[in-house]
Amino acid sequence: MPIDTVLLVDDNAEYKKVVSKALEALTAWRVVTGSSGFDALNLLRESQTAPDVILMDVSMPYMDGLEAIQKIQQDKDFARIPIILVTAKVLDDEMAQYKTLGIAGIVSKPFDPLVLHKRVEQLCLEWQGF
């Protein structure tokens, strides 16, 4: 299944701008952005078409990425969307927790935005539900 639309959720406006521009310039993907887990849920519910993949930050206001992931996975309409956690928090105990979430993978910040699309494609192909 090809990737057409990516939902990028992060509270850092500059990060979203750089990543969105890189993904759109290097692929044919459309990038939709949100600033919190709450935004992600609203965007999913309001969208006529679900995104093909979600890139979710952990630390955000209103609703963090971990809570948003749980809510997305509990919704039958969105549970099959691969979610990639994008985070600067990569301590061993946190990584162990993240791996129990049923997500497609983890990308550690900082990363090169010019190769992010390749990592996203790789994680989606490896994800059992894609």
Residue 44 belongs to a domain: yes
Provide the CATH number for the domain around residue 78. 3.40.50.2300
Residue 38 belongs to a domain: yes
Q: Tell me which residue of 48, 68, 49, 45 sits closest to 58, measured CA to CA.
A: 68
Model confidence over 5-18: pLDDT tens digits?
999 999 999 999 99
pTM of the entire predicted model: 0.92
Residue 81 belongs to a domain: yes
Determine the pLDDT at residue 20.
96
Domain count, the chain: 1
Burial label for 12, CB within 10 Å (0-12, 13-18, 19+), is middle
Q: What is the extent of the structural domain holding 102?
A: 5-120
Q: Tell me which residue of 127, 91, 80, 87 sits closest to 107, measured CA to CA.
A: 87
Residue 130 belongs to a domain: no
Residue 34 belongs to a domain: yes
pLDDT along the chain (130 residues), means of 10: 93 95 96 96 91 94 92 93 87 73 89 93 81
Helix (H) or strand (E) holding 36: none
Q: Tell me which residue of 119, 120, 126 sits closest to 53, measured CA to CA.
A: 120
Residue with tokens 């630390």, as numbered in its chain:
59
Residue 61 belongs to a domain: yes
Q: Tell me which residue of 73, 12, 59, 4 sits closest to 32, measured CA to CA.
A: 4
Determine the pLDDT at residue 109.
87
Residue 127 belongs to a domain: no
